Structure 1
Amino acid sequence: MAKGKDNHDNLLAQNRKARFNYAISETFEAGISLTGTEIKSVRAGQITIGDGFVTIHDGQAILTNVHIAPYENGNQFNVDPLRNRPLLLHKRQIRTLAQAASESGVTIVPLKVYLKHGFAKVLIGIGRGKKQYDKRQDIKKRDQERELQRRFKN
């Protein structure tokens, strides 16, 4: 589980729609296995995780459908921008994710990508898809809180 502070100094990408579309129950911090030119693109902030998700295949967590733009100076060392990338997790964490993903309506989604001690990390969450009425309730609740803040401010 992700422990410690939730603020990440070197935030590179964030999936803002994930918490709106899914009820996130548990989060994990995982390393991403990247090539040399990919990490240079990630450090430049050229990563998109909006459509990404995590699958468990043969006891390995795989980050799928995440776009890392080719490094501009990478020439022949550049790889496919949408390739599947292995995540670095402990075996018990992978078992927990596999057990959760086997349930109906549960998806493992990337929430944030950031640098920690020079290494690219991804915060992934176990999310259960929200229904349309749940989303409307969230919007209503957010608007009410915003209105209260405005009233207290004045």
Structure 2
Amino acid sequence: MPEDGRGRHETPNERADRRWTELLQEVRVAQTGAQILFGFLLSVVFTPRFATLDPFDRDLYVVTVVLGALATGALIAPVAYHRLLAGRRLKAELVDATSRVVTLGVVLLALTVGSALLLLLHLAVGLLPACLIVAAVMLWFAVWWLLLPWLLRHNGRRRHR
């Protein structure tokens, strides 16, 4: 059996199966959060306070809901991909494609959280403080969700040379 460079001895099919299982576990976590947030966002329009929002806040709400819908759709996409491709001997391609769409879904989820936070904080503390707080939160997401994994990947590649 070939080795994939990380000490695993698995066939390409075994590797694709393992990666698919890992991807599904990751999606379960992100998908649940996205669906809860999206459900909450949908209910906001039916509250009495919504009618009093100014145009900026209404537009921001629309952007937030659309981002939430896109994030939810991207994070549910692996189900559709699997249904359309199951049994066609395309597991490696399925894993690669769904990995990309899940990454997009996570980015859209971060943008949804940032947009929702901006909407809430704009109403609570004003636009400038809200923008500063949201910028800090988005930076926090970028560090933990992008920068640190990139650094681990980069350092791992250097060690395996």
Which band: TM-score by shorter chain? under 0.3
If the length of structure 2 is used for normalisation, what is the TM-score?
0.21
- Larger-gyration structure (1/2): 2
Q: Please identify which structure carries the higher strand content.
A: 1
* Larger relative contact order, structure 1 or 2 (CA cutoff 8 Å, min sep 6): 1
TM-score by length of 1: 0.22
Query: Which structure features the higher share of helix residues?
Result: 2
